[in-house]
Amino acid sequence: MRIRGRVVVVTGASSGIGRATALAFAEHKAGAVVLAARREDALEDLAREVRKAGARTMVVPVDVTDEAAVRELADRAVEEFGRVDVWVNDAAVAVYGSVEELPLQDVRRVLDVDVLGYLHGIRAVLPLMRDRGEGVIVNIASVLSVIPVPYGAPYSMAKAAVLSLAGSVRSELRLEGQKGIHVVSVLPTTVDTPFFHQAGNHTGRRLLAMPPVNAPQRVADAVVDAVRHPRPEIPVGSGAGSLLRAARKHPEKTARAIARHVDTQHLSRRHGAAPTSGNLHRPSPVAADAAVQGGWHGRTRTRVRGVVLAAAAVGGGLAVRHALAG
């Protein structure tokens, strides 16, 4: 699908990957980019950038856990711009902690946003796309859709569900004979966004972006490419493809290696952290949390010895060593 003139809806557009993606579509000459997230002030700021890039836009504050509100988002996009060609499900939250100690209300919130929020988006836009016989739905998943990690069970669970959801929808469309509607899962590795500053944390240790860290613009470019050339899964970032292949071929060995990497690189051993639910239940009021980047670029080339050694253990070590070197 060509990008020029298309109408794109992006959820989770207030920061990080969503914000970068909205800007990328505007820069690639999309006709209109509809911006959705909880923080209206951040969306209004982004809208000015989108207009400056040459696209029309509309701001729709929405919590994706509210299905009626998500349906209204889709309806408003059609009322204003005539149709929806592309829908990007990006709104996501996370909470970290041991399975036994995580507050259950925080776990439920992650699943509500990261799974049901995506389902609500698909249910809202699919009838609109079916009427026209074309469209692309892009779900921002993660390599953690396939690789479970310690202390991140809610997020891993959610992203695994997102991958399965996309596969189920593709199967249903195939049985209907719908060849013009595509559902794509983008699976990035760690991305330099405010995500880790905003996440809930009950580990007692400061959260760090697990290296190697990739620029959010790299993921945004992959989303644009996913619309141009849809395919079921698109790994993005240093080592993504190699890690996914290793995880699917040697799941236990890969999981053990990643677990060690999480313990040494994702959770600080020097800095503690008080328990917090982060932005799970209310948007972050911090202005910097509405940015594209999270200030983790210094970890792009951090040495990742644990995963390098693990890669050799699961075979295909050369490819993974090269990828994880950044």
The residues annotated with a catalytic role in the active site are 155
Query: Which residues fall within 8 angstroms of residue 201, CB to CB, at 6 or more apart?
Result: 95, 96, 97, 207, 273, 275, 276, 278
Distance CA 173, CA 186 (A): 19
- Alpha helices of the chain — where are they, by DSSP H? 16-27, 40-52, 67-81, 104-111, 117-132, 153-176, 195-198, 216-228, 240-249, 251-261, 305-313, 317-324
Which residue from 177, 179, 207 is spatially nearest to 97, judged by alpha carbons? Answer: 207
Structure tokens at 150: 């310690």
State which H helix or E strand residue 33 sits in. strand 32-37
Structure tokens at 248: 């699917």
Distance CA 262, CA 207 (A): 10
Distance CA 42, CA 19 (A): 9
Indicate the residue type of 207.
Answer: L
Dmax over CA atoms of the chain, in Å, equals 56
